[in-house]
Amino acid sequence: MRSISTLAGPRRKLDGGILFGHTPRLKWSQWMKPDLDNQVDIASRALLVQQPGMNILVLSGADALLAPPPRTCRCQPRVMGLLDNLAQHGLCEDDIDAVVLTHLHAPLSEELLERVREGEMPRLLFPKARYLTGERHWARARNPHPRDRDLFLSPLMHRLEKSGRLVLINRSACELLGEGWHFDFSDGFTPGQLLPEIQLQGGPVVFVGNLIPGTHWLSLTINSAYDRNPECVIGDKERLLDHLVEKAGRLVFSLDPDVAMVKVMRDRQSRYIPYDLYTSLSRFDT
C-alpha cells in the first residue's frame, strides 16, 4: 500500500511577468491578482510518498534542503516550514529515507543568500536520506550556462556531492525506490528535469515540478520566462498530458497557490481541462 500527502511550505512571491512569460499582463492578471510590485503569490509544495519501509520526499528545486535560519528573537513571526509539516504527519528528519529532486535550482531569499555569501552555509536536512536527481541535470548544475548560473547554488552542489548519499538517475526505473516508480525527463524548463510518476491503486500520479507550474499552464501556449526551451516545453507537456488522459492519471502541482492535484481531460477543441481538483492531500491512496 502506497499513499501520498502534500506538504505546503511558506508561500513565496514571484514577478508575474516572469511566471507567465510572453502572456500579456492584461490576461494573466485576471487569473492571479498581482500586487503593486507586479508580484503574485505562489506555493512551495512538496510531496510525501509513504510506502512499506520507506518515507520519500519529492521536491521541486533544492532550496528546501537547507535548514531554515533560527529566529533571532521571539518577536519574529513563526513561519511553518517543511519540517513543521512533516511533524504534523508524525515524522522527523531522520524518518526520511529518500529525497527526489526534480531539479536543483535554489532560489533563496536575499537574507539567506547574503549569509551564504558570507560563509554561513546552512546544513543539509535529512541526514539519513539518499538524494536522487537526474544525471544530465546534475551535469548542468555543476557546469551551468551563464543564462541560469544564478539559479544554482555552488556550495549546495558541493554539500550534496560530499554527502556520499547522492544518487544520479539516468533511466526510467530506480532500484532504490522499488516498483511503482517511473521517471521521465524533460529539457524544456531546465535540461534533464525529472518527472517522477508514482503508481497508486487508482492510477498514476505525476509530480510535475516546474514544467507545469499550475492549472493555467495546462494550456500549451502558456509558458514561463524561466523555460530554457519553450518549444520543448510544449512538446513535453503534450506528451505527458496525453499520457495522463489515457491512463486517467493525476498531476500534482508544486507552485499553484490554490490547487494541489487534478485530473485532466481534453474538450471538444482539444484543450486540456482540469477536473477533480484537490487543494491538499493527506495519505491519499486511491
Q: pLDDT, tens digit, for every residue of 224-247?
A: 999 999 999 999 999 999 999 999
Cell 502558456 belongs to 222
Count H helices, E strands: the chain?
Answer: 7, 14
Of 119 and 188, the one with more pLDDT: 188
**pLDDT per position as a tens digit, 95-107:** 999 999 999 998 8
Write down the pLDDT at residue 60.
Answer: 95
Sequence-ordered list of residues with C-beta below 8 angstroms from that of 153, at least 6 positions apart, any chain: 62, 63, 106, 108, 116
What pLDDT shows up at residue 183? 97
- Give the count of domains, the chain: 1
Kindly state whether residue 283 falls inside one of the protein's structural domains.
Answer: no
Parent domain of 138: 3-278
| Domain assignment of residue 91, yes or no | yes
User: What is the average per-residue pLDDT within 118-139?
Assistant: 92
Closest CA to 250 of 232, 274, 227: 274
Alpha helices in 125-208 (DSSP H): 135-142, 154-162
pLDDT at 71: 64
Predicted confidence at residue 10, as pLDDT, reads: 81
- The pLDDT, as a whole number, for residue 111 is 72
Q: List, in order, residues 6 or more apart from 117 with CB less than 8 Å away.
A: none
Pairing of β 130-134 and β 166-169: parallel
pLDDT at 181 (0 to 100): 97
Computed from CA positions of residues 135, 137, 140, 142, in that sequence, does the dihedral angle turn out positive or negative?
negative
SS3 14: strand
The answer to the question of residue 284 being in a domain is no
Choice between 218 and 70, residue whose per-residue pLDDT is larger: 218
Give, in order, the Cα–Cα distances in Å from 261 to each of 117, 131, 200, 251, 275: 37, 24, 14, 5, 9
Distance in angstroms (rounded) separating the CA atoms of residues 150 and 133: 19
> Which DSSP category does 66 fall into?
B
Total-model pTM? 0.94
The Cα–Cα gap between 132 and 168 comes to 6
Residue 220 belongs to some domain of the structure: yes
CATH number reported for the structural domain that contains residue 51 in this entry: 3.60.15.10
In a domain, 41, yes or no: yes
Domain assignment of residue 233, yes or no:
yes
Tell me if 286 is assigned to some domain.
no
Residue 116 CB burial class (10 angstroms; 0-12, 13-18, ≥19):
middle
CA 46 distance to own-chain centroid: 6
Using the predicted structure, report yes or no on whether residue 42 has a pLDDT greater than 90: yes
Largest alpha-carbon pair distance within the chain?
57
